Chain A
Amino acid sequence: MTVYTLKIDGRDVAGSEGQSIMDVAEENGIDIPGLCHLPGIHDRGACRLCVVKIGGSPRLAAACVTRIAEGMDVVAHDEELEEYRRAATEMMFLERNHVCAVCVANNHCELQELSADLGMTHFELPRISPTVDVDLSHKLFGLDHNRCILCLRCVRVCDEIEGAHVWDVMHRGLETRIQADMGVDWGDSATCTSCGKCVQVCPTGALFEKGRPVAAGTRDERPFLPWLRVHQEERGL
């Protein structure tokens, strides 16, 4: 195994060949934000929050999908990058209808936390306010497209971990939506195993467990797979 040494924000760090900048940063306690990134599933470089500067290149690279190389000089935090990250976070808030106060994920939402970390206090641009659906057809879970930021963690965890591939993407641009099977209501999905992994990984309140009040509890209190088993037993599944 080849070990590379590189610099992130001026710190000398090391990682093995094939690791991403994000991986190495995480191992060294350097926090690079990312909402589509989730360890254990494939990265797609889509939320753009983890963009970093490499060497003197004018092109920004997504840390989650850029593999490390010997002698790399990575800048993960500077005023310009923070400004871009704030702008991207603002765009996510404005795209659909995020109302933290009445969201099931209030207080345990990664988008909300990120905005606080970035010191965001307001938005400069207008909300787009699209009309989007809420799918409550599933027995245990709900899908509120108003809160979806299209990180596609649900799509990947369902495909790569659960192996069911219930979720995929339809339409494009602002019309992009996650969809169950080939566009059926979630409750009618023939492939969904009700495992709840998608709910567990959702960074916002787009996928949620039914019957819990606004802002109730945090995900961290529930260990991942054991929680799912207990939950399914309770519901007699």
Chain B
Amino acid sequence: MSRPRIATVWLDGCSGCHMSLIDLDERILDIFGRADLVYGPLVDVKVFPENVDVCLVEGAVSSVDDLERIKTVRERTKTLIAFGDCAVTSNVPGMRNPIGVEPLLKRAYLENVDINPMIPNRIVPQLLPTSQPVNRFVDVDIFLPGCPPHADLIYTLLDDLLSGRTPSVAGARFGR
């Protein structure tokens, strides 16, 4: 039997959840001794692969690009985990929602900029009207809230999944 394939995805988030993943410390060796890390910010692979068993998605869906990526992830992943508060509730990225995209960009790129103020409109993906949690667009199998989720919780969850137990997120909560 082939080894389980784990991927991680970084959408609109601060990467703190990935830092928490690294905080598994020596337990990383245990997890990735039993599974392959096939995609993510920690891996130099450009295209999200097929046949992913578990994918940890950090961050909210805020741009056209995020949306396309999460759809691809969903299509190619068996167990999709909304990983951390931004993916679960839209959290900090969602704080822009009452403001609206245009006033937000003006504030960030025109009003608060001294040299060559301009709204970037090339290369960077267009924003969606609001920043939304992952489950507003695709089905999510497991929610692991926390800002960030504690490394122990991540370990328990991945260990459960790799050992074929019913995955537990007991003790997880919004915020810290």
Contact = CB atoms under 8 A, between A and B. Distances in A.
Interface of A: 93, 97, 99-103, 106-107, 109, 112-113, 115-116, 119-124, 126-127, 129-132, 215
Contacts of A100: 85, 91, 147, 174-176
B144 A121 contact: yes
A127 B97 contact: yes
20 contacts: A93-B89, A99-B91, A99-B92, A100-B147, A101-B92, A101-B147, A101-B175, A103-B175, A107-B175, A109-B175, A116-B174, A121-B143, A122-B82, A122-B135, A122-B143, A122-B145, A123-B89, A129-B94, A131-B98, A131-B99
B136 to A, nearest CB: 7
Contacts of B89: 93, 122-123, 127
Interface string B97-118: 1110000000000000000000
A109 to B, nearest CB: 8
B145 A129 contact: no
Contacts of B176: 100-101, 106-107, 215
B32 to A, nearest CB: 25
Contact of A122 (B88, B94, B98, B99): B88
B130 to A, nearest CB: 7
A187 to B, nearest CB: 24
B172 interface: yes
**Which of B88, B89, B91, B135 is the most central at the interface, judged by chain A CB atoms within 10 Å of its CB?**
B89
A79 B99 CA distance: 38
Nearest to A109: B175
A59 B15 CA distance: 47
Interface in B124-152: 130, 132-133, 135-136, 140, 143-145, 147
Contact of B173 (A115, A123, A129, A131): A115
A112 B174 contact: yes
Contacts of A124: 135
Given A101-B92, A121-B169, A130 B98 contact: yes
A144 to B, nearest CB: 12
**Which of B82, B140, B143, B174 is the most central at the interface, judged by chain A CB atoms within 10 Å of its CB?**
B174
Given A101-B175, A127-B97, 11 more contacts: A93-B174, A97-B94, A100-B91, A100-B147, A101-B176, A121-B169, A122-B89, A122-B140, A124-B135, A129-B98, A131-B99
B117 to A, nearest CB: 25
B63 interface: no
Contacts of B132: 126
